[in-house]
Amino acid sequence: MSHADLTFAAWMALPDEAAGRTAAAIARRIDARLVGTSPQVYANQVGRVALFERDTIRYALVPGGTVQLGYDADRFAPSDRQLADFAESAAEWDLSGPLNRFVAEVTSAPRQVDLPARLVAVRSEEADALLADLDDSDEAYDHAGLMAGLGSRGLRPPTPDEWEYACGAGASSLFRWGDDYPEGEPYGDVPLIQEPNLFGLVIADDPYRSEFTTEPAVLVGGDGGSALCGGYGSFLSWLTLATAYREADLADAIYDGGLVGETPVRPVLEIP
Which of 195, 198, 241 is closest to 221 using CA atoms?
241
| 139 Cα distance to chain centroid | 25
pTM of the model: 0.95
Going 183 to 48 to 207 to 217, the CA torsion angle's sign is negative
Kindly give the confidence (pLDDT) of every residue in the chain, 272 residues in length, as a single tens digit, with 9 standing for 90 and above.
689 999 999 999 999 999 999 999 999 999 999 999 999 999 999 999 999 999 999 999 999 999 999 999 999 999 999 999 999 998 999 888 799 999 999 999 999 999 999 999 999 998 888 877 655 555 557 889 889 989 989 999 999 999 999 999 999 999 999 999 988 889 888 878 989 999 999 999 999 999 999 999 999 999 999 999 999 999 999 999 999 999 888 988 888 888 888 899 999 999 99
For residue 52, CA distances in Å to 25, 121, 142, 212, 228 come to 12, 9, 29, 22, 34
Find out whether 70 and 107 touch, Cβ atoms under 8 Å: yes
| 165 Cα distance to chain centroid | 8
Which of 12, 59, 8, 7 is closest to 31 using CA atoms?
59
Distance (Å, whole) CA 171 – CA 115: 16
Cβ neighbors of 44 (< 8 A, separation 6 or more) are none
